[in-house]
Amino acid sequence: MSRSIKNKYFLSHCCCRSEKKDKKIWHKAFRKKEKQKVCSNDLEGHVTTHHREVSDTWTMGKDGKHYYSKNYLLTSIKGIAKRFYKNKKERIANESKMFYRWVGK
């Protein structure tokens, strides 16, 4: 599984690799607010907490995702590799590494 690649190429819009910390904070606040509502004596009028009450997606690390075609990714990787690697053999080896790093699971 470590060498598997994605079939659909959705990449994030910014340099943040993961939203793990943001999601942990969000879920902690969500659970706390939900627990406070459940512990109150008014269970008949209980309404579940909406996720927008405890977090805002604009404050998280990523700004969303976008679909890129395989052709577009390969041409941009070739352009980047051409700028950084002058030796043809080294360039070809690093192009495949860059592609798998970008689209690897």
In angstroms, what is the C-alpha Rg of the chain? 22
Per-residue b or e along 38-57, where b marks 16 or more CB atoms closer than 10 Å to that residue's CB: eeeeeeeeeeebeeeebbee
- Residue 1: is its pLDDT beyond 60? no
Domain ranges of the chain: 16-63, 66-105
Selected residue with higher pLDDT from 1 and 96:
96
Q: How far apart are CA 67 and CA 84, in angstroms?
A: 26
Q: How far apart are CA 77 and CA 22, in angstroms?
A: 30
Q: What is the pTM of this model?
A: 0.50
**Using one digit for the tens of pLDDT, what is the confidence trace for 17-73?**
777 888 898 889 999 988 888 887 777 777 787 877 888 777 777 777 778 788 888
57 closest CA partner among 10, 14, 97: 14
